[in-house]
A and B are shown apart, each in its own frame.
Chain A
Amino acid sequence: GEDVEQSLFLSVREGDSSVINCTYTDSSSTYLYWYKQEPGAGLQLLTYIFSNMDMKQDQRLTVLLNKKDKHLSLRIADTQTGDSAIYFCAGTSGTYKYIFGTGTRLKVLA
C-alpha cells in the first residue's frame, strides 16, 4: 500500500521560512494536499497541487512537487506563531480515499 512519510518535528524562529517535507511511494495520486491541524481540532485544507504541476504558490505558501523523486514540500514564508501546528501531506488517486502522512509538528519560536 501507499506510504507517506514526513519528518516528525520542525522548529523555526518567527519570521523565518519553514519547509516541511513529504515523501510518498505511490505516484498515482491525482492531487496532493497539505492540511493543518491545530491542537484538539480537525484538519484544515491549506493548499493542494495537481500532479502535473511542479509548483504552486498561494500567498505565504509554496508547494513544490518532484514527481521523479516522489517528494512534496510545503514552504511557509515569514512563519508566525499562529503557524504552530501539525502539518499533514496527503494523496489520493482520484477518489476521496486519502492516505495521510505521519504529520510534522511545527513549532515557531518567538
Chain B
Amino acid sequence: GAVVSQHPSWVICKSGTSVKIECRSLDFQATTMFWYRQFPKQSLMLMATSNEGSKATYEQGVEKDKFLINHASLTLSTLTVTSAHPEDSSFYICSAPRDRGTYGYTFGSGTRLTVV
C-alpha cells in the first residue's frame, strides 16, 4: 500500500516551454506532498511543500513563479516548470507522508527533465 505514481518518467522539452509533472497517491489520501530536485550524484533538495486546498510553501531560493505547484485534490499534486531553460534540467521527485507514527515517506519514481 501507500503508492505514489509520478508521471512522466522522463521528458525532453524545448527552452521556453512549460512542463507539467503529476504525482498521484493511488491508495491513500495525501494532504501534503513534498517536491524535491536532485542533481546528478547529489542529494535531494526540498523545493516546496504542497498542501491540499492551500498555497504551497517554497524553500528559500526556489522561484515560485518558475515552479508552479498545485494540490487540487487529496490525491493529486502537480509541479509545472514554466519557461524551462537548460539549467532546469534535473531529476524531480515527489513524496507524501505515509505513516503518521514514524513520519515515513512514500516516493514517486521521479521525472527526468531535459531542456534542450
B46 / chain A contacts, CB cutoff of 8 Å: 97-98
Interface flag for A102 (CB, 8 Å): yes
User: B91 to nearest A CB, angstroms?
Assistant: 8
User: B78 to nearest A CB, angstroms?
Assistant: 17
Contact, CB under 8 Å: A42 / B93? yes
Bound-complex Cα distance A103 to B36 (A): 15
**Interface 0/1 of A82-94, CB less than 8 Å to B:** 0000001000101
A95 / chain B contacts, CB cutoff of 8 Å: 103
Contact, CB under 8 Å: A41 / B109? yes
Which of A33, A35, A50, A96 has most chain B Cβ within 10 Å? Answer: A96
**Interface 0/1 of A31-63, CB less than 8 Å to B:** 101010000111111001010000000000000
Number of interface residues of A (CB under 8 A): 24
State the majority secondary structure of interface residues on B.
strand
Contact, CB under 8 Å: A103 / B105? no
Contact, CB under 8 Å: A42 / B6? yes
Contact, CB under 8 Å: A45 / B43? no
A-B contact pairs, 17 of them (CB 8 A): A30-B103, A31-B102, A41-B109, A41-B110, A42-B4, A42-B6, A42-B95, A43-B105, A44-B107, A45-B106, A48-B104, A92-B103, A96-B103, A96-B105, A97-B49, A98-B46, A102-B42
